[in-house]
Amino acid sequence: MGKMRTQSAPWRAAAVLASVLLVGGVAACGNSDTGGGAKDDGKITMGFSQVGAESGWRTANTTSIKESAAAAGIELKFDDAQQKQENQIKAIRNYIQQKVDVIAFSPVVESGWDTVLKEAKDAGIPVILTDRSVDSADKTLYKTFLGSDFVKEGRLAGEWLVEQKKSATGPVNIVELQGNTGAAPANDRKKGFGEAIAVNPNLKIIASQPGDFTRAGGKQVMEQFLKANPKIDVLFAHNDDMGLGALEAITAAGKVPGKDITIITVDAVKDGMQALADGKFNFIAECSPLLGPQLMDLAKKVHAGEEVPARIETEETTFTQEQAKEALPNRKY
């Protein structure tokens, strides 16, 4: 930190104006917790742009990042983009201006990042992608990716269904609640699930629409599915929250979730695991939000100029109803 100096009145006025403009600039890009420029105090400063607060998974992920930064002694500048790519781009530009040491973010969609990532690279600020990746052809625009194999999650969900329905003699009608359009987990889970069920021509996706990873979205789209399709056998929801929203629509339509309609989701947050243990969901493919500790380790390495792997995948599992009952008491999120 620079030394304090006494200032004359015009200088004080200019300094106040400058700090008002700086804080205003940060606030304009979302809900930032901290502002200010880079400090020369030896501490690593990370600028983090979060997607939003759309799901239980996201809340757990934000908590993990904030707690891990504090534990690692990393100063965190946090911005909630409220599901908007433009907010994430503004936040990243602000972090570049502030000369943070490392930028990390979870991209709301896969495409459209090259320009801002190039700006960070030109400014010499390393970028770490976490949770979701980007589709940039130039892999030198970021240092590493830390997160899940979303295709595998979709595939595990599909393979479980194939096994359950192996003796089906007629069509099994599946509806799919996708995450937000263009997001890596929406694209990849759809792909993995579709590839897995392709082995059995009886398994048919009869409707597939985005529910934006939210409970409200899941409920609303499931209501439409139920109105338009008299026979729905299976729901594949790309996350627990949409599945939980869909439960309300299914019950309101006079059907029994988990029995009349088989429900498969992804995440395994506590509320989802409770629904699984209660017999309302049938299967969950896990997606871990606890990325904070690994992210902070990577930030330290990248800041020190150490080589890091290009991609680091989280270890994950799957849960049946019985397994959920066992795991619930120790579930951390």
Write out the residues near ligand AHR by the rule CB under 6 A. 54-55, 57-58, 131-132, 185, 213, 239, 241, 266-267, 287
Q: What is the strand order of the sheet 172-178 is part of?
A: 203-210, 172-178, 234-237, 262-267, 283-286, 318-319
Helix, strand, or coil here: 170? coil
Helix, strand, or coil here: 69? helix
Give the residue with the Cβ less far from ligand AHR, 96 or 109.
Answer: 109
Listing DSSP states for 209-264 in one string gives EE-TTSHHHHHHHHHHHHHH-S---EEEESSHHHHHHHHHHHHHTT--BTTTBEEE
Sequence-separated (6 or more) residues with CB below 8 Å from residue 115: none
Q: Report the C-alpha gap between 30 and 84 in whole angstroms.
A: 10
Give the residue with the Cβ less far from ligand AHR, 246 or 287.
Answer: 287
Contact 266, 317 (CB under 8 A): no
Query: Quick count: other Cβ atoms within 10 Å of Cβ 51?
Result: 27
Location of structure tokens 């996350």: 239
Give the residue with the Cβ less far from ligand AHR, 79 or 267.
Answer: 267
Give the residue with the Cβ less far from ligand AHR, 185 or 233.
Answer: 185
Give the residue with the Cβ less far from ligand AHR, 119 or 316.
Answer: 316
Q: Report the C-alpha gap between 179 and 185 in whole angstroms.
A: 7
Q: How far is the CB of 213 from ligand AHR (least distance, A)?
A: 4
Q: How far is the CB of 314 from ligand AHR (least distance, A)?
A: 11
Give the residue with the Cβ less far from ligand AHR, 25 or 112.
Answer: 112
Give the residue with the Cβ less far from ligand AHR, 61 or 173.
Answer: 61
Sign of CA dihedral 40, 43, 44, 50: negative
User: What token pair was written down for 182?
Assistant: 């263009």
Give the residue with the Cβ less far from ligand AHR, 75 or 267.
Answer: 267
Q: How far is the CB of 5 from ligand AHR (least distance, A)?
A: 47
Q: Report the C-alpha gap between 251 and 274 in whole angstroms.
A: 17
Helix (H) or strand (E) holding 51: none
Location of structure tokens 């069920």: 197
Q: How far is the CB of 240 from ligand AHR (least distance, A)?
A: 7
Q: How far is the CB of 10 from ligand AHR (least distance, A)?
A: 50
Q: How far is the CB of 64 from ligand AHR (least distance, A)?
A: 13
Q: How far is the CB of 85 from ligand AHR (least distance, A)?
A: 14
Contact 105, 92 (CB under 8 A): yes
Q: Report the C-alpha gap between 45 and 320 in whole angstroms.
A: 41
**Pairing mode of beta strands 75-80, 45-50:** parallel
Give the residue with the Cβ less far from ligand AHR, 60 or 96.
Answer: 60
Q: How far is the CB of 141 from ligand AHR (least distance, A)?
A: 20
Q: How far is the CB of 238 from ligand AHR (least distance, A)?
A: 7
